[in-house]
Structure 1
Amino acid sequence: MTDTAAQFRSNYPVVTDLVVQWGEMDALQHVNNVNYFRYFETVRIQYMMQTSLLQGKQGVGPVLAETECRYKRPVTFPDTLTLGCRVSAVQAHGFVQEYAIFSQAQQAITTLGSARIVVVDLSTGAKAALPDSVVAQIEAIEARR
């Protein structure tokens, strides 16, 4: 692993590697833009699985309220991507996550993104407070950086 890849991993407490599939390419021979949101979803769910938020035990669950993506470099097949996720802000009713994608072939960050996650009451669908226990779990995950 190069210093650049190691530095990338140290900036994100949750990372996962993903192999680019041939079918993710578009007519211009690079990964189609919709796939980046799937990549973000993959690492977002991996992050949330390290909390109790997806289990619904507290009667609340996460909803993706907003997401964005900035394409810095095209990704092509073959490649292995390292997906990174961190929480940049904890709010009363949710949190903001930041994502980055690092290309092993290019040894560079190719894509940046973010999402705002809102916590909702699973029985009513109304916005709910982010449980203190989840805040503590996020703080523990982020301390790994």
Structure 2
Amino acid sequence: MSAVVYTLAIEARWRDMDAFNHVNNASYLGYIEEARVRWFKSLSADWANETSAPVMASVTVNYRRPAVWPETLRIELIAERAGNKSLTLGHRITAAGDRDVLYCDGHTILVWIDRSGQSVLLPENVRAACAVG
């Protein structure tokens, strides 16, 4: 796969800074989550519903360089693997104005589960969005 499926530009906020005026490491996870949720919502308003929803099974973030405020960040989501019940999304955060300025990269593994906690098949619209044409 390895196709960029979604991009989002987002402003680093003052409150995202740490004591050294860098974007705090935990904020990166929030930016990635925001992109992921917006992507799912762009696929279907029903991406998480009463019967099933995605949960995070694993996340890896490789911090490449510190981002500082003010900065507009570009979050890219990359379809790495769509299994029967899990989805691996790569992510990259770069400077919106210069994609060669890489702040972090990594991947997230998501599993769709039902209300009882049992894994279920990926929604067909998610699988289709990950297909490389």
| Fold similarity call, TM over 0.5 | yes
Inter-CA distance 51–105: structure 2 relative to 1 (3 Å threshold):
closer
Q: Which amino acid aligns with 1:19?
A: E
From 46, 49, 55, the equivalent of 1:56 is 49
Inter-CA distance 68–130: structure 2 relative to 1 (3 Å threshold):
same
TM-score for the superposition, normalised by structure 1: 0.78
The runs of at least 4 aligned residues of structure 1 exceeding 6 Å deviation read none
Q: Structure 2 unaligned runs (5+)?
A: none
Report the secondary structure of 1:41's partner residue. Answer: helix
State whether residues 5 and 79 of structure 2, in contact with CA within 8 Å, keep that contact through their aligned partners in structure 1: no
From 50, 69, 85, the equivalent of 1:93 is 85
State the structure with more CA Rg.
1
Q: Structure 1 unaligned runs (5+)?
A: 1-10
Higher mean C-alpha deviation, range 100-109 or range 29-38: 100-109
Aligned residue in 2 for 1:119: 112
Report the CA distance between 1:49 and its aligned residue. Answer: 1.3
Identity %: 24
From 56, 62, 69, the equivalent of 2:61 is 69
Aligned residue in 2 for 1:109: 102
Higher mean C-alpha deviation, range 32-41 or range 102-111: 102-111
> Greater strand percent: which structure?
2
Report the CA distance between 1:60 and its aligned residue. Answer: 2.2
1:31 aligns with 2:23: yes
State whether residues 32 and 75 of structure 2, in contact with CA within 8 Å, keep that contact through their aligned partners in structure 1: yes
